[in-house]
Structure 1
């Protein structure tokens, strides 16, 4: 049974850390927004640290993350940004205190490593959503979706897909995140169980052939055969190649999953985009797709 951390309330303490890449700009505006929600924001040492590309050494980032995992007064931990580096520290973290006092872990992109590990090893819900580094460019609706998720307000997302979907309806536990990181975690203790789940995927800066390769790897490993539904988020910033691959990302994905019968939707508002809506991993959702109309509801 997947555990749900207590929803936040005004006066709660949340911690801000950087388990991966260092911050190249101020996040004071994001801290002000989090504070305006009535939260006390505790700034970790890694937030202002620097070691080559990283927000401090592996040891510093591990220590910073561990102290907030251990502290029962901290009710949520939000990653300042993604980038690269979480995989370098994940096996050094002790989640025993976290399991005794679950709290919300928030982030996306490289933070998929942490989210997947928490789902796999701790059976605790977590949130794929905007991080302070992305607050400045975010739509108000995306930031609000994060606030609503943290404070326990029920949400329903509705939109129209530009690419043809596969009609259908499914209810199941939500998993997913960044495709590159999910593929990289296969075969490790941080790998999520895909069977009978609603899976969402997103990625940025990958060529079509790379997306094709990673999805075919997941397919060969049996990860796509027994899903209840598939939600395809943003796959953006794809650089042109000298010799075109010949298919769009949507066409690549459709080719790979067309033999299955579960509902599939494209262009879902999640990923490395301004309108990156909060996705609560490990919670039950209902996905309803009719032609280009998509409804995604938290239950």
Structure 2
């Protein structure tokens, strides 16, 4: 099986940079564990996600791909820094576990494209930067509560 993640995330990074965003890749993005099922061990994935949550400059976290392993992370993370430095969590499918957990804590999330298929979506409106702070197309009036579909 060919790993298309490096190519697809590189293309998505290029799109996000064209919006005026700085892209920070998680330390485990290209890691592999259990024959490619996960992007690293549970501890590696939790540490990488915690680093993004704790980073004040990160405004949004786009998940690279789905996977039922995302639910394994929920109880291993400390969400307290999101109070002072909230950020969008963007993804769908198995990432819904994050949406539910974060929505229950009072944080907003975006049900939207993941990095792996971001540029493959035939509907360009699904790739709009309107909700991402710092992007050229950011819509400053966006203040709805809960989960949003992009």
The interval holding the TM-score normalised by the smaller chain is 0.7 to 0.9
Cα distance per residue 1:62-106 (max 9 Å; x no partner): 000001111112111111111221111110000011122211111
Distance in 1 between residues matched to 2:85 and 2:145, nearest whole Å: 22
Cα distance per residue 1:261-294 (max 9 Å; x no partner): xxxxxxxxxxxxxxxxx617xxxxxxxxxxxxxx
* Aligned alpha-carbon RMSD (Å): 2.1
Unaligned runs of 5+ in 1: 1-22, 156-171, 176-277, 281-299
Q: Structure 1 length as normaliser, TM-score? A: 0.43
Distance in 2 between residues matched to 1:136 and 1:97, nearest whole Å: 31
Higher helix share: 2
> Is the 2:71–2:97 contact (alpha carbons within 8 Å) kept by the matching residues of 1?
yes
Distance in 2 between residues matched to 1:114 and 1:174, nearest whole Å: 12
> Is the 2:103–2:146 contact (alpha carbons within 8 Å) kept by the matching residues of 1?
no
Q: Structure 2 length as normaliser, TM-score? A: 0.82
Give the drift of 1:154.
6.8
Q: Could you tell me which of 129, 132, 137 is aligned with 2:115?
A: 132
Distance in 2 between residues matched to 1:95 and 1:56, nearest whole Å: 21
> Is the 2:108–2:146 contact (alpha carbons within 8 Å) kept by the matching residues of 1?
no
> Match for residue 65 of structure 2?
81
> Match for residue 279 of structure 1?
149
Structure 1 33/95 Cα, relative in aligned 2: closer, same or farther at 3 Å? same
Distance in 1 between residues matched to 2:146 and 2:47, nearest whole Å: 30
> Match for residue 141 of structure 1?
125
Give the drift of 1:136.
3.1
Unaligned runs of 5+ in 2: 133-137
> Is the 1:115–1:126 contact (alpha carbons within 8 Å) kept by the matching residues of 2?
yes
Structure 1 174/117 Cα, relative in aligned 2: closer, same or farther at 3 Å? closer
Structure 1 64/106 Cα, relative in aligned 2: closer, same or farther at 3 Å? same
Q: Which has the higher contact order (CA 8 A, sep 6+)?
A: 2
> Is the 2:92–2:111 contact (alpha carbons within 8 Å) kept by the matching residues of 1?
yes
Structure 1 153/79 Cα, relative in aligned 2: closer, same or farther at 3 Å? same
Q: Could you tell me which of 92, 96, 99 is aligned with 1:108?
A: 92
Higher-Rg member (1/2): 1
> Match for residue 54 of structure 1?
38
SS in 2 for 1:77: strand
Matches within 5 A, 1:86-101: 86-101=70-85
Q: Could you tell me which of 55, 60, 71 is aligned with 1:71?
A: 55
Give the drift of 1:173.
5.7
> Is the 2:109–2:146 contact (alpha carbons within 8 Å) kept by the matching residues of 1?
no
